[in-house]
């Protein structure tokens, strides 16, 4: 699997300045990649382009060499996508919601139902499986969204801030799930939880202002930390140094 933004230019409106301009980025083909950057850096935009939910104004989005503009329907089955805001439904229970997404992604009805139960169990929501999603808390709804991303056999998983709004215990549960999932399927995940997740990641991408400031193995990212940074603060320090926030450059 290769997933690549090739010299992509994108703006939300024709008259607005592009968020990304001739932007090239390839999602690593294995393991967990975390996408870091300040608010407004372009992370969600990058992920939405990779998920095929928005189209570039120029350039190409290539999945294993095929341009998405000509193959979007088929492509969406291969990509699992957790958007930043998970819409709730008044009608559907958590299990129905996850099963519906799995069915849309090409699973048979019975398999989608089965997978939905297993995915909700993975994210610790079995007890809420029968509740309408509109009646869940923000963190629970986020976990329903994560379950949707896990409930079908995707070839790449894109998670936009999956840990936002999760309580500390659920973050730990999520980390365990993530480790298991990323061992089999490449995962690209945007996050502000650097300290929590840098240790788990194989690759770290840091972007700002629609540009990549760092892309490489986690160790090479952490090497940017100040030498006096405490071990538990190395990721935060590396981020500050690369973003030139620490006053040292």
Contact set with ligand ATP (CB under 6 A):
12, 19, 37, 39-45
Closer of 11 and 66 to ligand ATP (Cβ): 11
Closer of 39 and 248 to ligand ATP (Cβ): 39
The minimum distance between CB 38 and ligand ATP, in angstroms, equals 7
End-to-end CA distance of the chain: 39
User: What distance in Å separates the CA atoms of residue 73 and residue 58, rounded to the nearest whole number?
Assistant: 20
Which residues have C-beta within 8 Å of that of residue 83, sequence separation ≥ 6? 48, 51, 53, 145, 160
Helix, strand, or coil (residue 233): helix
User: What distance in Å separates the CA atoms of residue 199 and residue 203, rounded to the nearest whole number?
Assistant: 10
Which residues have C-beta within 8 Å of that of residue 160, sequence separation ≥ 6? 43, 44, 47, 48, 81, 82, 83, 84, 189, 190
- Helix, strand, coil content of the chain in percent (nearest 5): 40, 25, 35
Closer of 11 and 64 to ligand ATP (Cβ): 11
Secondary element (H or E) of residue 215: strand 211-217
Which residues have C-beta within 8 Å of that of residue 137, sequence separation ≥ 6? none
Closer of 19 and 144 to ligand ATP (Cβ): 19
Secondary element (H or E) of residue 240: helix 234-242
Closer of 17 and 90 to ligand ATP (Cβ): 17
Closer of 21 and 126 to ligand ATP (Cβ): 21
Nearest to 169 by CA among 139, 198, 149: 139
Nearest to 45 by CA among 3, 7, 8, 99: 8
Closer of 42 and 52 to ligand ATP (Cβ): 42
């Amino acid at each position: 699997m290769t997933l690549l933004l090739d010299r992509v230019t994108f703006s939300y409106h024709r008259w607005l300045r592009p968020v990304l301009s001739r932007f090239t980025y390839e999602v690593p083909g294995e393991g967990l990649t975390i996408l870091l950057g300040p608010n407004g850096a372009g992370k969600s935009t990058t992920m939405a382009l990779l998920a095929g939910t928005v189209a570039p104004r120029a350039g190409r989005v290539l999945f294993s060499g095929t341009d998405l503009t000509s193959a979007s329907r088929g492509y969406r089955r291969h990509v699992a996508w957790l958007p930043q805001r998970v819409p709730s439904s008044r009608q559907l229970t958590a299990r129905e919601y996850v099963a519906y997404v799995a069915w849309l992604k090409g699973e048979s009805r019975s398999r989608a139902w089965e997978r939905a139960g297993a995915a909700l169990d993975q994210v610790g929501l079995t007890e809420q499986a029968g509740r309408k999603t509109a009646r869940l808390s923000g963190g629970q709804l986020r976990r329903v969204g994560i379950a949707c991303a896990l409930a079908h056999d995707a070839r790449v998983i894109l998670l936009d801030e999956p840990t936002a709004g999760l309580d500390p215990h659920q973050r730990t549960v999520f980390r365990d799930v993530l480790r298991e999932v990323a061992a089999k399927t490449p995962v690209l995940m945007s996050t502000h939880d650097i300290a929590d997740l840098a240790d788990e990641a194989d690759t770290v991408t840091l972007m700002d202002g629609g540009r990549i400031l760092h892309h490489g193995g986690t160790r090479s990212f952490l090497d940017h930390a100040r030498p006096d940074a405490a071990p538990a603060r190395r990721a935060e320090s590396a981020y500050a140094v690369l973003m030139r926030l620490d006053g040292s450059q």
